[in-house]
Amino acid sequence: MLTLLKKMKGTTKSPPAVNFFEIVWSWMGAFIGIAVVAYINYNLFDDTDMAMLIGSFGASAVLIYGAIRSPLAQPRNLLGGHIISALIGVTCYNLFHAEMWLASALAVATAIAAMHATKTLHPPGGATALIAVIGSAKIHNLGYFYAIMPVGAGAIIMLIVALLINNIPRNRKYPEFWF
């Protein structure tokens, strides 16, 4: 019991704050990355059944524009994490949509396990799997195509923006590794 409380106290300090420069470039990357994906979604796919923007891209933006050194933010994780999780999410919805609570929980938990097993852990992948289950009828109608578009295509667009924007400043570079 005491060791449990001790563990809960924490053992170390918070990492330092980033400087203003880092804040500006994080903002810039995220703005452009989401702008491109959102423009396609709202202006080009407006009257279609297709989508390009899903909520989990907001989370990916935090990583690939705001924490670009993180292993979680590397291309392998970004693409692998989203696509694998999307496939798992769609599968869980197809099999268990009669019990939405079960489909939701299975989708997220299995997505995390699969990302770990494939060395593609990317936190937004959990949201991508969940959206496949709890998303709109439009998302459900996509079936497994969801993993290609919006998920795969959107992630690739955001990756391209990250490669361009994150490498402009002299002391920033992306990625740390590809695969």
Partner 1 sequence: MEKKQPKDETQLFSPPDISDDDILEAMKEIGGYLDITPGTFKEVFLFAYNHAINRLTQSISAKDVMSKEVIAVKKETPLATTTEIMAKNAVSGVPVLEDDGIVVGVISEKDFLFQMGAQNTGSFMEIVSNCLSSPKCVAASLREQCAQDIMTTPAITVSEDTSVFEIAQIFGEKSINRVPVINHSGKLVGIVSRTDILQAVLYLNKKS
Q: How far is the CB of 143 from partner 1 (least distance, A)?
A: 35
Rounded least distance, CB 110 to partner 1, Å: 24
Pattern of binders to partner 1 over 2-31, x per CB under 8 A? -x--xx---xxxxxx-xx-xx---x-----
Residues 85-144 that bind partner 1 (CB under 8 A): none
Residue 170 binds partner 1, judged by CB under 8 A: no
Nearest residue (CB) to partner 1, 68 versus 161: 68
The amino acid that residue 78 corresponds to is L
- Phi (first) and psi of residue 105, to 5 degrees: -65, -45
x-marked contacts with partner 1 along 33-72 as a string, rule CB under 8 A: ---------------------------------xxxxx-x
Q: Please give the span between the terminal C-alpha atoms of the chain, in angstroms, as a whole number.
A: 42
Please identify, using beta-carbon distances, which residue of 12 and 43 lies nearer to partner 1: 12
**What is the DSSP-derived secondary structure letter of residue 4?**
H
> Distance between CA 43 and CA 114 in Å, rounded?
34
Helix, strand counts (H, E) of the chain:
8, 0
Contact 131, 55 (CB under 8 A): yes
Distance CA 154, CA 124 (A): 13
Pick from 84, 103, 87: nearest CA to 144: 87
Nearer CB in complex with partner 1: 88/122:
122
Q: Residue 19 is which amino acid? A: N
Q: Which H/E stretch holds residue 32?
A: helix 20-39
Whichever of 13 and 46 has its CB closer to partner 1, that residue is 13
Instruction: Rank residues 50 and 67 by Cβ distance to partner 1 and give the closer one.
Output: 67
- Shortest separation between residue 112's beta carbon and partner 1, angstroms: 17
> What is the binding site for partner 1 (CB under 8 A)?
3, 6-7, 11-16, 18-19, 21-22, 26, 66-70, 72, 171-172
